[in-house]
Structure 1
Amino acid sequence: MFAMAALSGATMAMATQAEQPVLRWDAQSYGNHRYTARVEKAADAVHVILPWRRRDAHPEQVAVIVTGPDGKVIANVLRGSIDRASGELVFQAAQAGVYAIYYQSYLSNGRSNYPTVTYPAPKDSADSAWVRKVGKDAQAWKRLPQASVLGYEAVDDFDAYTAMERTATPVELQALLASNAAATLLLFPETRANPIRMLDTIPERWAQRGAGGEFSDEALRGEYLSFQVGLWAPQAMVANVQVSFADLQGPADAIIPARALTCFNLGGIDYAGQPFSTRVNVAQGRVQPLWMGLDIPTDAKPGVYRGELTISADGVPAQRVPLAITVGAAAAVAHGDDQPFKLSRLRWMNSTLAQDDTLVKPFTAVSVKGSTLGILGRDVKLDASGLPAQIDSHFDQRMTGFAKQPQAMLAAPMRLLVQDAAGVHALSAAHRPAVQQDGPGRVHWQINGNAGPLQGEVQASLEADGTLSYAIALTADKPITLSDIRLEIPLRGEVAQYQLGLGRQGDRAPVDFSWIWNVENNQDGAWIGTTNAGLEFHLRDEHYQRPLNTNFYHQKPLLMPTSWDNGGQGGVRLKRDGARYMVTAFSGGRTMAAGQTLRYDIVMRVTPFKTIKPAEHFAARYFHKYSDLDEIKRDGADVVNIHHATPINPWINYPFLEADKMRAYIDAAHQRGMKVKIYDTIREVSDRAPELPMLESLGHEVISAGKGGGFSWLQEHLNGDYIAAWHVPENRDAAIINAGQSRWHNYYIEGLDWLARNVGIDGLYLDDVAYDRTTMKRVRKVLQRHREQPLIDLHSASQYNPRDGHINSALLYMELFPYIDRLWFGEEFDYEKTSPSYWLTEMSGIPYGLMGEMLQHDGNPWRGMLFGMTSRLGWSAGSDPRPLWKLWDSFGIEQADMIGWWVHDAPVQTGRDDVLATSYVRKGKTMIALASWAPQQTTVSLKIDWKALGLQPGKLKLTAPAVENFQPAATFRPGDAIPLEPGKGWLLILE
């Protein structure tokens, strides 16, 4: 299928579609674009000028390929004048017919999913004798037979250059400027049907139409009408663009008020629900699209509405753009949102949907009893500093319920200390803070105090999920020299069992460890704790923005906090000191001027966030692939994860273009009692998103800055300042990286709401997401409004590598854990050479209130069963948990209590640290998972608390049912020495 463009000029107007060849071509060999030209008679040389109006800046540096009517490449080709406006060629035409001239052929190297596409430079392939015969005289070439240009073609409609990408010629630009000699800023209104794509020059249609004029379009009642005004600054930079709107006057004195109009480029509502404004400048020679939106009332009277918008800038006379909007009698469906190409969804960019302090399940309202704040399973008692004096966890070690006695986490109150020549001064106030309720899900407090020579102001909050946020401002009244400002977190020794972060992978908490700031690493905190009580902390700059992740960290790394880092003097020390475990975050010596303020921001989270629910986990059997639903059901799975690059979800992170197919699939699944979740994150966006030109117009609010490159479509249709991301060669889907915090998050939330209402999705499969907990909370709230029990699972490849800044995936995403249901960690996680502590803290999710599954090489099934983890069905040929599922069902695992090896009084133990046991306890029988970390074959005798199991030892048998690819059938007596191979184990039934 070809995309064809109309050509200007009398000769071009005579070309008809019937003259176009119907030959498809291989883009990998020839590129995506060509012109065709007819040669009436065979000739040793013919001349042609292609009016290609190219948008690439240097066409003279790119090769051209000519093929004959037989499809063979013509070697004898000479290049004449080559520029953006046109290309002059002479080529040998051995036969009459239609010749094809490919003018952006490319080479693709590197990984297929991250291709490196380059455009070869011109290469002389012509025979020297032919060149001497033809000559290189441009005037003589004009006397050669002339090939007649038939038209432009693209390899497909999507790759085709639009009318907005056909550049104006220098002659046309000069004429336009001559007719607007006094203008510093030229305006070009455009409908949404013609998104502005070029930012370094203007299109042919603007040059021929001229600047200014009225904007007119048609819309329905209740429709959200998007449109553009292109700004071009040909002579000099234009600063501080402003837009104002007037009421639209309609029939019979009807009015659409000015407040129904907005300009997205000048600001809006950010991802956190706060209004913001943006300064827009137009650089010399550049084009700046301004995207507008008009919210037409549902009760608008049909007819023509007339008004205007005014565009001004510093030192530039204001210019009016008349508006004429014809409102039809019919009513729009959902503002037009059901048709993505209408771009009505741009209104989603400023959405505040689910931006509130309401609760999501299972969290409970924050309670306030004096200075003690209560949340699900945890209490925080505030000190006079506003910092925690004590944190209590009510979770039990099994992580399935609550203990009779709480676990105190702190050995002493946390302190922020200022040290100078006079000594050490703790931040404090005269009174404990008064706590204010913002809603059931959040409280906040503020104190004003001092820390020796510094005045301190603390603004803090606690949310229902366990997140404590602190913004601490320290101000000097007079010049002062300080030797340190530090935070002390004295944890109880029994709580500080495990640690991850600060450059360490999950393991036993170190006895003594020091860390310093380094921008090469995405590290600003750690998690320290045990299964039922832990603390995550992060040290932040007041202007913190989430870094990029998953291969892209170094392109937007962590902002080193001015206060904590202090020019490389700051760091963190972890030290076990008797019965307490001291965390000291220090910033080192410095001088402060009178009136200077330093911000020491801290984010902490108290874990676990919620109890684990093994019964629900074992009952939901995942199939991770698009496939036939009846086959999936026969395999025993009831939750289907649909990736992108599938027939019903073809485009990465843009699941709206095959909505009917997706709805039909999900309806069929629901009829079979199954659930369907889709891949949809915000880390990157597909080039198929119709909103992409508008997102480019916002600079780097949504699209991350980068060096461009990547797949051919990105290089040919974007403006070069982006980071190329995932590419699917099978359907030519390419993506670019999004910024970590932007209004695209608002769009995403509205999109999920639309999918839940209109398509019926049951949840999300998240793959290394790039948003923070603010958006994650909204995700959960939106899905929970439409589904009684939405399902959200999170996958991550291990981020612990130089490319990703050596960040632990669990720590990177811990802020999201309260709002998801399951983990799938993941590629590059090591299931063989890592310790049980690593498994527990880095992969299982259990200390945080989650359970998960394994991925890399299908995991280790024996060790996995210690944590309730299997591989996931459908993902790979070797991934087959069905034999284990069969054993689960025969045993009745959903009715069992899971008691992990980490529980100090677990009823089945091995007495060894390198062979561990987890029990699944039912009335009258128990399933025991054994797994070995011993380097050689070994044996183990089980230590069983018969009373705890409710069993009589003399009447029991210990059997290993045969499980395909897991274990042979075997029988043991309870006291027997059970053999274990290295890295393997058993599932034993005691009954």
Structure 2
Amino acid sequence: MKFISTVALYILFGISAYAQEMSYTISKQLWPDVLGNHRAVISVGKNTDAAEVKIEWRRRDWDADQKAIIITDEKGNKIDNIYRIHINSEEGHFVFQPTGGAGKYFVYYYAWSGRKGNGGFSGNYLKKEKEPNEDWVEKNNLTTSKLKLEQAKVIEIQSRTAFDSFFPMEIVAKKSEVENLVKKSASPYLVFPEDRKFPIKMFDDIPYKWVTKGSSALFTGTAQRNEYYVFQLGVFALVQDLENIKIEYIKSPFSATCFNTEGYDSKGDFFTKIVNVKKGKVQPLWIGLDIPKDAKPGLKEFQVKVKPENAPAKIINVKINVTNEVLANRGDDESWRHSRLRWLNSKLGINDDVVKPYRSLEVTGQKISTSSGQVTLKQDGLPSEIMANGNSLLAGPLTFNILMDNQAVTFSRHDFRFLKKEPGKVTWESTMLSDKLKLTCRASMEADGYLRYKISVAPLHDTKLDDIRLQVPVKKELARYFMGMGLPGSKCPDNYDWKWKGPQDSYWIGDVDAGLFCEMRGASYSGPLLNLYHPAAPPAWYNNNLGGFNVSEKDNVVNTQTYSGTRTMKAGETLDFEFAMLITPVKPLDTKSQFVNRYYHNGNQPEPPLSILESGVKIINVHHANLINPYINYPFGSVDSIKRFVSDWHKRGVKTKIYYTIRELSNQATELWALRSLGTEVLADGNGGGYTWLREHLGSNYNAQWFTPINGMEACDAAVLTSGESRWYNYYVEGLRWMIRNTDLDGLYLDDVSFDRDLLKRVRKVMDMVKPGCILDLHSNTGFSRGPATQYMEFFPYINKLWFGESFQYDKMPPENWLVEVSGIPYGLMGDMLHAGGNPWRGMVYGMTVRYPWFTEGVNCDPREIWKVWDSFGIADAKMVGYWEEQTPVRTSDPGVLATAYIKDDKLLIAVASWNKNATAVKLNIDWKKIGWEPQEIMICPAIENFQSARTLGLKDAIEIDPTKGYLLIINKIVH
């Protein structure tokens, strides 16, 4: 595919003339990518021992002279002798020995060595080629200043693929050409209007196109009715820094915005941005025009004023020809239009509506009730009572104590008032005064039982504080388990001390029927503290490592205390202490969904065999990095393949979900260049590097992340890190709505996400809005004892299923860890096992298997044999009663061997697993009154491949159980 001829170039872009005629093309045949993504095609007219060539390659890389030059003939034979005369980013001037005789030669100048693999790229550009043979150099007098050699002709510059191409916006203007611009201009800066088809990609250089075309005060474009039309203004600071550029629209017939200077953040609040441009740098300004559906066709003219704070304004005349055609979906169906940029300012899902399955909040006096719990507030705004699942959790009221002279400060005045009472959210405020301090408590409770607090401490004069403490006293009988603040899921300790380290900022305490999650907030980032996001601790609580956390037990009360240590505050200062709580369980346990909605999950091969239908698979997760969903967190580039896949499996009664999150973004994203123009708002800063495409096009100031060569595709997926909370959240929510509408997806697979609960809540609202019944399952890759359950617990009200466990050591984990950190049961959720196939015997105690066809080398992970037992027994309609429940009807004779019963009217399935270090002989103790049957005598051990052999046992028989293993036993009700 040839990009363009020189003549066509002039016509299409209005370029008057090239200093050197150059054709930029895409190669018709792929060459080995280790030779680099760019080459010059040159021609030698006759047989000669030495040919001279000068290539005006106009490169972006400043270290062009340090990279190797590789020359081959048409057959691919490498040329050994290359003599460099002058190499820089503007041009390459050298002599080579054309051993293939007259004909074409290829000059590669971005060759590299290394490895491309799933998940990562390791490699670097080749250093300068070896020195040429001295005899050849001397023979051809190459060291003289006046060479008289055969001149090779540059035919064209080729890119390996269209995606690799630099043309036209990365063909760099020479230094002399830029200097000439500066001399000719009477202004300290220039503005270059640019069409959306040609995103401005360079910020340290200007494209040669701008040199030849020149600056302009006019932009013309053609739009359709109902289109969100986008164009660019490239601001080039010629001779000075430009400060605080403002954009104004004069007599615009359309609503307009500049995404670089203003917008709406992820909470829906309007903000403005300061845009500065350093001398010699380029700042793209992306402008969106909202053209209504009922706009009258015709030419629309208005002006855009570009006004730096320290330089004269420039007026750009804009002429938009609005045609009579009406564009569907604002243009969002065609990514090249960049209409989706308006998604950055979306407020979709930002409201206080109630989200299913929760009911509206009810306020009676100072008591707030919801589906999952009830909170009674004191005058200071803190809970005096928390009811969870009908259980009174607290042994006393929550206290926020400030200590001075080793005594808690007493406040003489408490002003409490509700600020807002919406069905989905109630907010309140309390003000407290003493002779030394003023406290303001602002708090809210949401319909899912989530409470958020911000307590502001303001001294009335300079004051030394001994400590500030948040105390949560829990009844000992309900403080059975604990997790967080450095501890894995475990029995609740009687005494425990912890200092800030992590990623840890939260804990959960409670039992299966009632619990409380508490997170200390106030850091710059409050999402899950996992993987790529390890921010500093909340400064008010941390207090330069004087703060910490402890657990203590006394008089049947377990007290959790977060303290901040001694400090001095000055009059006029304000210190904010933030924390959030969630009442658990967040919803009733849905065991039927767990046993019916089985997952097929195979990362690189998402297309399942039809045999999964026989196994009862109901949901397919499509990961990224495959032919269906190739690009990480950017499914818009593969809509057709996703839509076909979803449709095919819907016809078979199987739902489909895809991997789509935010933490990284593929280099294949159409909007990548617009996002780059926003600085670090969306794309995180970093040291660059990574895959060669990133180095060649992004240059620097990015953080290279996941890399995948897509099997069956030439394109590679090279991701960069996003910055955390930003307007990309808004884009994500709108993008999800668009994807579900256009592909009929059934939900998302969330893999170690970095966004916060507010965004997840928006996601759930959007899914319910577009397609009720969508499913969210959550995976974390955090290693054993690193706390994924606490880090993600604020998500749990809106999640359908968990998939924690990557690198979990299932055979070493005590039952408390299984229950609290893996199963999800105390929170009203259930999960699947992961690492190395989990432990199938212990897993069944918690209703868990692995996903099919999850495979680990040397380990049989296939769950289908267990699923057959599920189906023959009818487990979906059984009542699950685990060992953790006081009313469990089945126990064993050994406390190290645990049992869970699945009860039906006429059948009983018992999952038994051992946590003992040695083989153990146990008997089952069954409370038949709780079962509701007459005592039975026989139990069946069904044959399950790689799990157990078939046999029949008497109920009084001892069962020998090996360490880490167990049995599934069935008792059929026999009516005499």
- With normalisation by structure 2, the TM-score equals 0.95
The reply to whether residue 467 of structure 1 matches residue 450 of structure 2 is yes
Alignment correspondent of 2:344: 349
Alignment correspondent of 2:312: 317
Structure 1 segment 944-955 matched on structure 2, within 5 A: 944-953=926-935, 955=936
Alignment correspondent of 2:724: 740
- Seen in structure 2, the aligned counterparts of structure 1 residues 512 and 16 have a Cα distance that, compared at 3 Å, is closer
**CA displacement at 1:979 relative to structure 2:** 1.1
- Seen in structure 2, the aligned counterparts of structure 1 residues 220 and 270 have a Cα distance that, compared at 3 Å, is same
Equivalent position SS for 2:636: coil
Alignment correspondent of 1:206: 210
The reply to whether residue 65 of structure 1 matches residue 65 of structure 2 is no
Structure 1 segment 160-309 matched on structure 2, within 5 A: 160-180=165-185, 182-248=186-252, 256-257=253-254, 260-309=255-304
Partner Cα separation in structure 1 for residue 764 and residue 155 of structure 2: 55
Superimposed CA distance per residue, residues 845-871 of structure 1 (whole angstroms, 9 cap, x where no aligned partner): 111111010111111111111111101
Structure 1 gap ranges (5+):
249-255, 395-405, 801-805
The reply to whether residue 668 of structure 1 matches residue 648 of structure 2 is yes
Amino acid at match of 1:416: F
Superimposed CA distance per residue, residues 345-401 of structure 1 (whole angstroms, 9 cap, x where no aligned partner): 11111011111111221111111111111111211111121111111112xxxxxxx
Alignment correspondent of 2:430: 447
Structure 1 segment 30-429 matched on structure 2, within 5 A: 30-94=35-99, 95-109=101-115, 112-137=118-143, 139-141=145-147, 143-180=148-185, 182-248=186-252, 256-257=253-254, 260-394=255-389, 406-421=390-405, 423-426=407-410, 429=413
Aligned residue-pair number: 953
Alignment correspondent of 2:914: 932
Root mean square deviation of aligned Cα: 2.0
**CA displacement at 1:451 relative to structure 2:** 5.6
Partner Cα separation in structure 1 for residue 788 and residue 24 of structure 2: 58
**CA displacement at 1:676 relative to structure 2:** 1.0
Equivalent position SS for 1:458: strand
**CA displacement at 1:524 relative to structure 2:** 1.7
The reply to whether residue 813 of structure 1 matches residue 792 of structure 2 is yes
The reply to whether residue 533 of structure 1 matches residue 533 of structure 2 is no
Superimposed CA distance per residue, residues 695-729 of structure 1 (whole angstroms, 9 cap, x where no aligned partner): 11111111112111111111111131121111112
The answer to whether the 8 Å contact 2:24/2:158 transfers is no
Partner Cα separation in structure 2 for residue 439 and residue 487 of structure 1: 28
The answer to whether the 8 Å contact 1:683/1:769 transfers is yes
Amino acid at match of 1:98: K
**CA displacement at 1:515 relative to structure 2:** 1.3
- Seen in structure 2, the aligned counterparts of structure 1 residues 683 and 271 have a Cα distance that, compared at 3 Å, is same
- Seen in structure 2, the aligned counterparts of structure 1 residues 427 and 211 have a Cα distance that, compared at 3 Å, is farther
Partner Cα separation in structure 2 for residue 810 and residue 3 of structure 1: 53
Partner Cα separation in structure 1 for residue 592 and residue 271 of structure 2: 46
- Seen in structure 2, the aligned counterparts of structure 1 residues 189 and 957 have a Cα distance that, compared at 3 Å, is same
Partner Cα separation in structure 1 for residue 319 and residue 925 of structure 2: 84
Partner Cα separation in structure 1 for residue 659 and residue 352 of structure 2: 27
Amino acid at match of 2:282: V
Superimposed CA distance per residue, residues 837-890 of structure 1 (whole angstroms, 9 cap, x where no aligned partner): 111111111111110101111111111111111010133374321111111111
Alignment correspondent of 2:33: 27
- Seen in structure 2, the aligned counterparts of structure 1 residues 14 and 499 have a Cα distance that, compared at 3 Å, is closer
Partner Cα separation in structure 1 for residue 270 and residue 242 of structure 2: 25
Partner Cα separation in structure 2 for residue 549 and residue 562 of structure 1: 15
Alignment correspondent of 1:922: 904
The answer to whether the 8 Å contact 1:415/1:427 transfers is no
**CA displacement at 1:102 relative to structure 2:** 0.7
Superimposed CA distance per residue, residues 209-246 of structure 1 (whole angstroms, 9 cap, x where no aligned partner): 12232111111101001111111113222111100112
Partner Cα separation in structure 2 for residue 379 and residue 16 of structure 1: 69
Alignment correspondent of 1:842: 821
Amino acid at match of 1:589: T
Partner Cα separation in structure 2 for residue 596 and residue 15 of structure 1: 65
**CA displacement at 1:408 relative to structure 2:** 1.4
Amino acid at match of 2:429: Q
Partner Cα separation in structure 1 for residue 585 and residue 838 of structure 2: 25
The reply to whether residue 865 of structure 1 matches residue 844 of structure 2 is yes
Superimposed CA distance per residue, residues 294-348 of structure 1 (whole angstroms, 9 cap, x where no aligned partner): 0111111111111110011122101111101111111001000111121111111
Identity %: 40
**CA displacement at 1:2 relative to structure 2:** 7.7
The reply to whether residue 486 of structure 1 matches residue 469 of structure 2 is yes
Superimposed CA distance per residue, residues 237-293 of structure 1 (whole angstroms, 9 cap, x where no aligned partner): 211110011223xxxxxxx24xx1100011211111111111111122211111110
The answer to whether the 8 Å contact 2:372/2:448 transfers is no
Amino acid at match of 1:894: A
**CA displacement at 1:496 relative to structure 2:** 1.7
The answer to whether the 8 Å contact 2:481/2:491 transfers is yes
Aligned mate of 1:982, from 950, 954, 963: 963
Partner Cα separation in structure 1 for residue 841 and residue 22 of structure 2: 74
**CA displacement at 1:744 relative to structure 2:** 0.8
The answer to whether the 8 Å contact 1:909/1:944 transfers is yes
- Seen in structure 2, the aligned counterparts of structure 1 residues 918 and 426 have a Cα distance that, compared at 3 Å, is farther
Partner Cα separation in structure 2 for residue 818 and residue 343 of structure 1: 35
The reply to whether residue 827 of structure 1 matches residue 806 of structure 2 is yes
Alignment correspondent of 2:14: none
**CA displacement at 1:117 relative to structure 2:** 3.1
Equivalent position SS for 1:488: strand
Superimposed CA distance per residue, residues 678-698 of structure 1 (whole angstroms, 9 cap, x where no aligned partner): 111111111111000001111
Amino acid at match of 2:871: D
Partner Cα separation in structure 2 for residue 890 and residue 4 of structure 1: 67
The answer to whether the 8 Å contact 2:783/2:808 transfers is no
Partner Cα separation in structure 1 for residue 317 and residue 455 of structure 2: 51
Equivalent position SS for 2:845: coil
The answer to whether the 8 Å contact 1:351/1:747 transfers is yes
Alignment correspondent of 1:400: none
**CA displacement at 1:153 relative to structure 2:** 1.1
Equivalent position SS for 2:59: coil
- Seen in structure 2, the aligned counterparts of structure 1 residues 11 and 467 have a Cα distance that, compared at 3 Å, is closer
Equivalent position SS for 2:394: coil
Structure 1 segment 646-725 matched on structure 2, within 5 A: 646-725=626-705
Partner Cα separation in structure 2 for residue 884 and residue 110 of structure 1: 38
Superimposed CA distance per residue, residues 586-642 of structure 1 (whole angstroms, 9 cap, x where no aligned partner): 111111111221111111111111111001111112111321563432443121111
- Seen in structure 2, the aligned counterparts of structure 1 residues 469 and 50 have a Cα distance that, compared at 3 Å, is same
**CA displacement at 1:13 relative to structure 2:** 4.3
Equivalent position SS for 1:611: coil
The answer to whether the 8 Å contact 1:612/1:850 transfers is yes
Alignment correspondent of 1:399: none
Partner Cα separation in structure 2 for residue 309 and residue 342 of structure 1: 20
The answer to whether the 8 Å contact 2:687/2:703 transfers is yes
**CA displacement at 1:956 relative to structure 2:** 3.6
**CA displacement at 1:648 relative to structure 2:** 2.4
The answer to whether the 8 Å contact 2:664/2:721 transfers is yes
Partner Cα separation in structure 2 for residue 559 and residue 381 of structure 1: 33
Alignment correspondent of 2:561: 584
**CA displacement at 1:475 relative to structure 2:** 0.6
The answer to whether the 8 Å contact 1:49/1:88 transfers is yes
- Seen in structure 2, the aligned counterparts of structure 1 residues 123 and 426 have a Cα distance that, compared at 3 Å, is farther
Amino acid at match of 2:597: A
The reply to whether residue 636 of structure 1 matches residue 619 of structure 2 is no
Partner Cα separation in structure 1 for residue 131 and residue 827 of structure 2: 65
Structure 2 gap ranges (5+):
11-16
**CA displacement at 1:12 relative to structure 2:** 6.2
Partner Cα separation in structure 2 for residue 873 and residue 516 of structure 1: 41
